[in-house]
Amino acid sequence: MSGARSAIPCVNSRIFMLMTQQCNGKGFIGRISLFMILFLVLIAASPGPKVILFLGDSITAGYGLEPSQAFPGLIEDKIQAKKWNFKVVNAGQSGDTTAGGLNRMDWLLRSRIDVLVLELGGNDGLRGLPAETTRKNLQAIIDRTKDKYPDVKIILAGMKVPPNMGRDYGRRFDTIFLDLAKKNKAVLIPFVLEGVGGVRELNLPDGIHPTAKGHEIIAANVWKVLEPVLRRLAGK
């Protein structure tokens, strides 16, 4: 994992020297005790993994699939292949709206978050909820996260509504994500379902939820935007 190996050799080198000197003339048990203390100090000094929270609805949850087939699981595979020090948390919940996600934030924020991938709003659009309500809820999620973890990186997953929702509503809905990304200096995934939405063979029989193959394309859409952010955080 990135950072861990490079940090250990240089951390507490003075402590290591002092302990080595103190070991001279001590008995076997004394030496074991000192080196056990050193080992615990080094473990404590090793940086833990940075946390990527995927907050979303059934798309993030991987409705109808195994968790490993959902795009957050595929992103985790890409991270592990690079041996980067990140932990992926999938907080996807089928049927969730932006209001539902906002209601879950206090609980989710109990644990540290370094990167928030926010994939909510699709169900708001399908239900025809006011676009301004969706905007306010997403902004509140971002605000709460930043209040608790000021250095958090925000990745905003853009969504679109079907044409049958009306041109005017579709236009107002589309602007939500671009405007919020600009306002919050967040990184935008223009349309997380690009290449998948509306493609029959890439969705389950319900025509809404992506297949495993569809999730591979979604993961590629997300990774294109997320990878540079993680690379900077990993110091690569």
Over residues 67-94, the pLDDT tens digits come to: 999 999 999 999 999 999 999 999 999 9
Q: Provide the 10 A C-beta neighbour count for residue 117.
A: 29
Q: Could you list the active site residues? A: 58, 206, 209
3-state secondary structure (DSSP) of residue 31 = helix
- Residue 101 pLDDT more than 80? yes
Compute and round to an integer the Cα radius of gyration of the chain: 22
Q: Where in the chain is the domain with CATH 3.40.50.1110?
A: 50-233
pLDDT band at 29 (very low <50, low <70, confident <90, very high): low
pLDDT for 170: 95
Average pLDDT over the chain, rounded to whole?
87
Task: Kindly report the pTM of this predicted structure.
Answer: 0.81
**Closest among 56, 190, 61 to 123, alpha carbons compared:** 56
Tell me what the mean pLDDT of segment 206-226 comes to: 97
Long-range CB contacts (within 8 A, 24+) of 74-82: 74/215, 74/216, 74/219, 75/219, 75/222, 75/223, 75/226, 78/219, 78/223, 78/227, 79/230
Structure tokens at 188: 């935008």
Pairwise CA distance, residues 117 & 155, whole Å: 5
pLDDT for 45: 47
Cα–Cα distances (Å) from 79 to 5, 83, 181, 229, in that order, read 17, 6, 24, 12
Is CATH 3.40.50.720 the right assignment for the domain spanning 50-233? no
